[in-house]
Amino acid sequence: MLAICSSLSVSAANLTPASQSEPAPNANLSLPTVAGDSAKLSDFRGTVVLLDFWASWCGPCRESFPWMNQMERKYQDQGFKVVAVNLDQDAALVTPFLNDFPANFTVLLDTNFSMPEAFGVIGMPTSYLLDRQGRIRATHVGFRQQDTDDYEAAIQALLAE
């Protein structure tokens, strides 16, 4: 079971340089979406992606969904996407969560925990910022409203590259 961890902040100032970054693992792993189709990370190559791992029982995840909706809406025309990977063992728990906290972005279901294991996820939520080439440029664990300006600055920096 993944634990809820305190937040590790990310900002534009501490993005991993592209030359030192690693490609996202399992980029070609196809996962079902809540919309009933499937997607894989490689489908989003060419865009900046906020990859967010979450679960229905996660309190900070409830706070992060409105912010992620706002970020996708604000930056989608510049090539930004949010991809949220749900890690509930029972996919039926996703619908009630999304009824309360709608997601206007891609939501993938990973009941086998393939993606979080490959990424080394240690807490909920854990987010990764991927550049347009699919490389991991930043990671943050947890979600704190007071850090959203730093998160947004990191998104802006990657969009400007």
Residues 39-69, buried b or exposed e (16+ Cβ, 10 A)? Answer: bbbebbeebbbbbbbbbbebebbbbbbebbb
Chain segment 52-106, per-residue pLDDT in tens: 999 999 999 999 999 999 999 999 999 999 999 999 999 899 999 999 999 999 9
Per-residue confidence band for 3, with pLDDT thresholds at 50, 70 and 90: very low
Chain segment 97-116, per-residue pLDDT in tens: 999 999 999 999 999 999 99
Domain ranges of the chain: 29-160
29-160 domain in CATH 3.40.50.150?
Answer: no
Which tokens sit at 143? 């979600």
Beta bridge partners of 42: none
Evaluate if residue 159 carries a pLDDT over 50.
Answer: yes
